[in-house]
């Protein structure tokens, strides 16, 4: 028997075993998940096909119910004008609302068991199933998939992915949104170390951004720290095969944390902390979340992907759907180009972020470090939005620099600050007025063909992103820059505001955007000077959007002025 004939017979057996018992007899047609990522990201190399008996961990996203109702509840609990404001859903409430229908759950389970899947685990909301299969079983289950091992990224990590799109049996298509562990490659960090600016004379100058510089600029006094008496907590999440070291955090606080009360160690690590060298990004996240949100219990989600076939960001979303008690504020320095993700994946992840908002979690995502971005579509340049920064259910943080890099002065745009307009998500109602005002009044708008003016616009806020000191692998490193720095700083400030709210008997802030836009940036320093980068062509000459009075798609509403922001957000 030829190999092709044998493979055809095995595929037919899978079709018969897995489907005839479940669906219309004799039907074994397939439909693909739309727009699956098929291009290999730069820096990744295939090492060839994976052995057919090697084990894979795949995650099946089951179709949810009542997503529109969930969206309505997010609006109700996040809008200060609503009688339901602050009355967040529990994880059990969310599960009751969105869990797949019994038919969906049974259908997918039977399909997987017939294919030989084992050790299947669900989550509290029952909308994900993670199972183990051999490569042979997975390729029969998902026709078209062909698993290869790849190596890439700065850490030379290994992943297993399929360069070809998969198909689902047509009878399964109404029950499965996507299958995780096939296409999406780990993103690489865009954090960069910039050359030290030239300066003459040093009187009254600082030599880079440290916690004391942050606290001075954003008007945080030595008393603006956590009380240590509440159940307040905050978290950062890491997906880049990067780890922090406790010894680096201790050294950082010894060098830079002497003038404010702080916690000496992370309260809880969720996931696996690798034993390798510390990563600058991981060190930065922890050190600045814990020095801006000083003396507040801090968790670190370390999700490197415990197996080559797992997707770290997806693993983090599963953790959120499986834990009833979570930190109130989460900061995440992660993003992918919108166009690199399938529509099924991006819509489903957006629903996961919606679930978090319904539970009163404040999710802050870095806006990215490529300005407006740039890519070519049918020979025409366009700006390139990033996701999850473009999700309407997260608060996205852009970046700024000091006008004088050595003085604590007014802030201007950091040219790398990510921002723009989504090509996937329409503009949410909460930002309608602010964005319309920007589009009608900005004197420096790029050509309309470069962006989707009706899309969700981001970022929402900003903070300093240029010139940070970080301790990593016991070495103080200067001039580290990126929105990976501004995001934990803004998150720490919001944690301090949550501290005051909790002490006065109020719920935590939850999803901030509806309130933020209603209050038109009150409590924030408006950043009105500078533009970010974009396409290097004759038409726009490297310039994207420019900041101006009020909201703009470069720095949002601006950067935190803690006393004023606390006054704005403490009531109700």
279-293 burial code (b ≥16 CB/10 A, e <16): bbbbbbbbbbbbbbb
Q: Provide the annotated binding site for Ca(2+).
A: 526-527, 550, 552
Structural domain for 150, as ranges:
31-63+98-178
Q: Is residue 387 part of a domain?
A: yes
- Of 57, 291, 484, 534, which is the active-site residue? 484
Is 484 tagged catalytic? yes
Q: Is residue 57 part of a domain?
A: yes
Largest CA distance in the chain: 84
Q: Do both 372 and 430 map to the same domain?
A: yes
Q: Do both 213 and 162 map to the same domain?
A: no
Q: For residues 460 and 419, what is the distance between their CA atoms, to the nearest angstrom?
A: 9
Q: Do both 418 and 467 map to the same domain?
A: yes
In the prediction, which pLDDT does 392 show? 98
Torsion of CA 486, 399, 274, 266, to 10 degrees: 0
E strands, 196-247, in order: 233-238
In the prediction, which pLDDT does 312 show? 80
Q: Do both 313 and 452 map to the same domain?
A: yes
Q: Which two tokens stand for residue 188?
A: 């690489």
Q: Do both 368 and 513 map to the same domain?
A: yes
Q: For residues 256 and 233, what is the distance between their CA atoms, to the nearest angstrom?
A: 22
Q: Is residue 12 part of a domain?
A: no
Q: Do both 545 and 455 map to the same domain?
A: yes
Q: Which helix (H) or strand (E) holds 50?
A: none
Q: For residues 361 and 353, what is the distance between their CA atoms, to the nearest angstrom?
A: 9
Q: Which helix (H) or strand (E) holds 207?
A: none
Domain boundary among 155, 178, 201: 178
Q: Do both 411 and 473 map to the same domain?
A: yes
Look at residues 509, 491, 513 and name the one whose alpha carbon lies nearest to residue 85.
509
Q: Provide the annotated binding site.
A: 526-527, 550, 552
Q: Do both 441 and 315 map to the same domain?
A: yes
Q: What angle do CA 460, 461, 466 make, to 5 degrees?
A: 130
- Of 177, 281, 336, 414, which is the active-site residue? 281
Read off the pTM: 0.90
> 10-residue block means of pLDDT along the chain (572 residues)?
42 41 41 56 83 91 97 97 96 97 95 93 94 93 91 78 88 92 71 58 67 97 91 88 86 94 92 76 94 96 62 85 94 90 92 97 96 91 96 98 91 97 98 98 94 98 96 94 96 98 96 98 97 92 95 98 97 84
Is 281 tagged catalytic? yes
Q: Counting Cβ atoms within 10 Å, is residue 231 exposed (0-12), middle (13-18) or buried (19+)?
A: exposed
Helix 280-292 crosses helix 483-503 at what angle (to 10 degrees)? 30
Q: Do both 166 and 244 map to the same domain?
A: no
In the prediction, which pLDDT does 571 show? 87
Q: Do both 554 and 482 map to the same domain?
A: yes
Q: Is residue 1 part of a domain?
A: no
Chain position carrying tokens 């099924």: 344
Q: 10 Å Cβ neighbour count for 142?
A: 24
Chain position carrying tokens 């170390």: 193
- Of 33, 139, 285, 414, which is the active-site residue? 285
Is 285 tagged catalytic? yes
Domain boundary among 131, 158, 178: 178
Domain boundary among 125, 159, 178: 178
Q: Is residue 44 part of a domain?
A: yes
Q: Do both 242 and 153 map to the same domain?
A: no
Q: Is residue 543 part of a domain?
A: yes
Q: How many domains does the chain have?
A: 2
Q: Is residue 391 part of a domain?
A: yes
Q: Is the dihedral of CA 512, 514, 518, 520 positive or negative?
A: positive
Q: For residues 483 and 467, what is the distance between their CA atoms, to the nearest angstrom?
A: 11
Radius of gyration of the chain (CA): 24
Write a three-state SS string for 136-174. HHHHHHCCCCCCEEEEECCCCEEEEECCCCCEEECCCCC
Q: For residues 109 and 99, what is the distance between their CA atoms, to the nearest angstrom?
A: 14
Look at residues 361, 272, 365 and name the one whose alpha carbon lies nearest to residue 320.
361
Chain position carrying tokens 């493979």: 7
Q: For residues 394 and 458, what is the distance between their CA atoms, to the nearest angstrom?
A: 10
Q: Is residue 17 part of a domain?
A: no
Q: Do both 161 and 272 map to the same domain?
A: no
CATH number, domain of 463, equals 3.40.50.200
H helix runs in 142-245, sequence order: 211-217
């Amino acid at each position: 028997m030829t190999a092709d004939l044998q493979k055809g017979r095995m595929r037919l057996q899978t079709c018969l075993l897995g489907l005839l018992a479940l669906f219309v007899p004799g039907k074994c047609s397939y439909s693909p998940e739309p727009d699956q990522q098929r291009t290999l990201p730069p820096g990744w190399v295939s090492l060839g096909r994976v052995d057919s008996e090697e084990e894979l961990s795949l995650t099946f996203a089951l179709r949810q119910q009542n997503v529109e109702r969930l969206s309505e509840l997010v609006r109700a609990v996040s809008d200060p004008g609503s009688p339901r404001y602050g009355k967040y859903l529990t994880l059990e409430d969310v599960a009751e609302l969105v869990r797949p229908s019994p038919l969906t759950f049974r259908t997918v389970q039977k399909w997987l068991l017939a294919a030989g899947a084992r050790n299947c685990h669900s989550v509290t909301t029952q909308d994900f199933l993670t199972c183990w299969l051999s490569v042979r079983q997975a390729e029969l289950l998902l026709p078209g998939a062909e698993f290869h091992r790849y190596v890439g990224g700065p850490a030379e990590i290994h992943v297993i992915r399929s360069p070809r799109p998969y198909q689902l049996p047509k009878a399964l298509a109404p029950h499965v949104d996507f299958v995780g562990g096939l296409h999406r490659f780990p993103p690489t960090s865009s954090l960069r170390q910039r050359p030290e600016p030239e300066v003459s004379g040093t009187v009254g100058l600082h030599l880079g951004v440290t916690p004391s510089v942050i606290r001075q600029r954003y008007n945080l006094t030595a008393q603006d720290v956590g009380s240590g008496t509440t159940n307040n907590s905050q978290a950062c999440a890491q997906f880049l095969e990067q780890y922090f070291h406790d010894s680096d955090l201790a050294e950082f606080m010894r060098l830079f944390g002497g003038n404010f009360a702080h916690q000496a160690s992370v309260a809880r690590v969720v996931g696996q902390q690798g034993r390798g060298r510390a990563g600058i990004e991981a060190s930065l996240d922890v050190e600045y979340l814990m020095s801006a949100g000083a003396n507040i219990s801090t968790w670190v989600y370390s999700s490197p992907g415990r197996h080559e076939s797992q997707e770290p960001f997806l693993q983090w979303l599963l953790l959120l759907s499986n834990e009833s008690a979570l930190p109130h504020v989460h900061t995440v320095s992660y993003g992918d180009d919108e166009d690199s993700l399938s529509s099924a994946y991006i819509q489903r992840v957006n629903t996961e972020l919606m679930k978090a908002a319904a539970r009163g979690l404040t999710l802050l995502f870095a806006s990215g470090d490529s300005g407006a971005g740039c890519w070519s579509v049918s020979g025409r340049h366009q700006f390139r939005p990033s996701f999850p920064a473009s999700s309407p259910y997260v608060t996205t943080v852009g970046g700024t620099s000091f006008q004088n890099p050595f003085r604590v002065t007014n802030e201007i745009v950091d040219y790398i600050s990510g921002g723009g307009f989504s090509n996937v998500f329409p503009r949410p109602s909460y930002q309608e007025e602010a964005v319309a005002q920007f589009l009608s009044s900005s004197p420096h708008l790029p050509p309309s063909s470069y962006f989707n003016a009706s899309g969700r616009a981001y970022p929402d806020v900003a903070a300093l992103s240029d010139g940070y000191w970080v301790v990593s692998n016991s070495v103080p490193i200067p001039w580290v820059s990126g929105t990976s720095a501004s995001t934990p700083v803004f998150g720490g400030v919001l944690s301090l505001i949550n501290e005051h709210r909790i002490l006065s008997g109020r719920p935590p802030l939850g999803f901030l955007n509806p309130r933020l836009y209603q209050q038109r940036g009150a409590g924030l320093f408006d950043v009105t000077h500078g533009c970010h980068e974009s396409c290097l062509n004759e038409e726009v000459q490297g310039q994207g959007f420019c900041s101006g009075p009020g909201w703009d798609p470069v720095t949002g509403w601006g950067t935190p002025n803690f006393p004023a922001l606390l006054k704005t957000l403490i009531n109700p």
